[in-house]
Amino acid sequence: MTQSIQVQMCAMVLMLLVCYFSFIRHSVVLKSMLLYRQLVVVTTGCVAADILSIIGIAHANSPLTDILCKIYLFFVIWTSFLSFNYVCYDIVKIRRKVMLLRFFRFFTLVSSIIPFFLPIDFYNSGDEIYSFGPAVTYTFVIAPIFIIASMVLILICKKHMNPYRSNAVMIWMLLETAGALIQINNRGLLLISFSMALGVTVLFAKLENPDSGIERVTGCYRISLLREYIQQLYDNDDKERALIVIENEELEKELSIEAIMLIEIANFLKRLNCGKVFRGIGNDFVIVFNDVNEAKKIFPAIKERFEFGWHEGNILHPHYLLVPTITVFENPGELFSTYRYYSNMTADSSESFLIIDSEALDKMKEFRFMQSEIKAALNENRFIVFLQPIYSVKERKFVSAEALVRMKNREGNLIMPSSFIPIAEQTGQIEQIGERVFEIVCDVIKEHDIQELGLNYIEINLSVIQCENRNLAARFSDIIRRYEIEPNTINLEITESGSIKQKSILLDNMDYLSRYGCTFSLDDFGTGESNLNYIVNMPVDIVKFDRSMILSYFSTEKAGIMLEYVTGMIKRMGMKIVAEGVEEKYQFEALSKLGIDYIQGYYFSKPIPIPEFISFVRRANTRK
């Protein structure tokens, strides 16, 4: 008897420790943890009932002993069921069958009551103490059903389960089975309750320790726990929750200072006592609120605190993402995908606050769809080039053309650049598109002998991302050599932009290609930044006036004076000028008198497919 009591007391100590750490420690209570806590309570009751039944058999053979032993059997059945229920929760297909789980619960309730109506006997020889009889036999027939069912479910559905959970539960089931087999063969060694307690402890250590969901540096909940929590909200159809994401991409300082500031921010957010605080991607924080009103109420305090500054007066300028309700997302995966998307989008944005609602979600979906379309179009050669002729005022004929890319969708319909170029620039796909256009133009120059048509060169647009690629010049010169064309038949258009971060790389590429024989145009002059610097510091041969600049010339006196002055200045610097967007005869005549060298626009032709362009130029230049 002494040995049995000692074993059960060890089991009780284990269960009390697990109870303490499971219930006392604050945590986000997930459904799996709730089921585990039910299991902990029932297993603790089972161990307590086992201890009391042993004491009862040892010291008295009374109706009370009979009841204590049957209470123990009651808990054994419920412990087995709750282990099965815990396994079922991890298997989505079973978890969603509410009626089936209710049936199992009802079956367990009835099964656990039946032993109270069956006879039970006791054996006490001093060294060996145990109960036996129909009630015990019945219990140890019913309980293994759930244990075996749990093991079979794990083996069949293992690929659909959390691997840590399936392994931990399998260890638990094996411990329980081993304890039962030992007890059957050695009645003096009562190990069933101890093996149950040991199995529950294994689960705690591997899966259900509340501290495992806590991020070590800040003490906030981990992002992995956020994923599980959001999934639970969706499973429970509790989707009115709101989120505020605080993006701290600036917070990349010396490691020790960064940690101090993260701890300060985390402690402040937790002291608000409003919402659950999680660590997000990188140095982000994500706060989950009960609803959007709660989020809006607390946001001013968060913003004010960030403006005040943190460790040693460090002031951060975070971006804030507000998700008014998670109902706009079909599933947690879409929510996190949107979070990652806008986290990347806001990194270089001047906007400090963004609301992620259904409209923002639609924009992301459009972005992802177009990104996929661009990838498919590159793989399936669905990018084509249209050419728009450029007319020489002096020579009175077409002397060049601008290459403009178009994309065909799967149905063969054209998609205009404004729909895919901005997205391609954000995703980096613009480099592949740009190189594809460059090769198509080189092929046109080689196959159609453009000089015989009267054309000197074809202009090709370069994106900012291409300009910042150190390998651009080498790659383009290789392509020119491969197609065996003259470098001076290529004119590369760059757009004046303050977004070019690596201007030294741009200048190196321009210098290399200029020496190789290519020429450069400055596109959209007057719409970007540092106009004069571009003209003075870069090897530009041609300046192109943007359509908006041309329209202003004809609509306002000041714009007219400015254009006349700039035109004279550029021509004195020895560069040529192209006027874009010319659509009317009076515009053509006025710009010609002003001294503009080349005219481009719908007055002569819109951008047209290559075969049509070749016929157009041959016919027009022959007539001239």
Name which of 364-368, 478-482, 522-526 the model is least confident about.
522-526
Q: Do 342 and 461 fall into the same domain?
A: no
Name which of 172-181, 263-272, 367-376, 495-504 the model is least confident about.
495-504
Name which of 46-50, 213-217, 483-487 the model is least confident about.
213-217
Mean pLDDT, range 481-502, rounded to an integer: 81
Q: Do 204 and 218 fall into the same domain?
A: no
Phi, psi of 285 (to 5 degrees): -125, 140
Q: Do 206 and 243 fall into the same domain?
A: no
| Position 34 confidence tier, pLDDT thresholds 50, 70, 90 | confident
Q: Do 302 and 179 fall into the same domain?
A: no
Name which of 127-131, 148-152, 270-274 the model is least confident about.
127-131
Is there a contact between 522 and 494 (Cβ–Cβ < 8 Å)? yes
* pTM of the shown model: 0.71
| Position 526 confidence tier, pLDDT thresholds 50, 70, 90 | low
Q: Do 446 and 479 fall into the same domain?
A: yes
DSSP string across 13-39: HHHHHHHIIIIIS-----HHHHHHHHH
Residues 6+ apart with CB under 8 A from 110: none
Q: Do 89 and 236 fall into the same domain?
A: no
With a pLDDT cut of 90, the percent of the chain lying above it is 38
At 358, which amino acid appears? S
Tally of structural domains, the chain: 3
Q: Do 74 and 170 fall into the same domain?
A: yes
In terms of pLDDT, which residue wins out, 310 or 245? 245
Q: Do 451 and 316 fall into the same domain?
A: no
Q: Do 427 and 571 fall into the same domain?
A: yes
Name which of 62-66, 327-331, 616-620 the model is least confident about.
62-66
User: 3-state DSSP: the chain helix, strand, coil percent, rounded to 5?
Assistant: 60, 15, 25
Most confident of 247-251, 495-499, 602-606: 602-606
pLDDT of 530 > 50? The answer is no
pLDDT of 255 > 60? The answer is no
Mean pLDDT, range 589-617, rounded to an integer: 95
Residue 371 lies in a domain: no
Q: Do 618 and 544 fall into the same domain?
A: yes
Q: Do 113 and 227 fall into the same domain?
A: no
Here the CATH number for the domain that contains residue 259 is 3.30.70.270
Q: Is the four-CA dihedral 265, 270, 275, 281 of positive or negative sign?
A: positive
pLDDT of 253 > 60? The answer is no
**Tell me, what's the pLDDT at 513?**
94
Here the CATH number for the domain that contains residue 457 is 3.20.20.450
Using the 3D structure, point to which of 174, 193, 210 is the last residue of a domain.
Answer: 210
- The residue behind tokens 């998700």 is 323
The region, left, alpha or beta by phi > 0 then psi within -120 to 50, assigned to residue 54 is: alpha
| Position 13 confidence tier, pLDDT thresholds 50, 70, 90 | confident
Residue 530 lies in a domain: yes
Q: 157 to each of 79, 88, 203, how far by Cα in Å? A: 22, 10, 19
pLDDT of 498 > 50? The answer is no
Q: CA–CA separation, 251 vs 274, rounded Å? A: 24
Task: Give the range of the structural domain holding residue 559, as residue numbers without chain letter.
Answer: 379-623
Q: Do 341 and 423 fall into the same domain?
A: no
Q: 114 to each of 57, 119, 137, 139, 561, how far by Cα in Å? A: 21, 10, 12, 9, 102
**Tell me, what's the pLDDT at 65?**
83
Q: What is the mean pLDDT of the chain?
A: 86
pLDDT tens per residue across span 353-396: 889 999 999 989 999 999 999 999 999 999 999 999 999 999 99
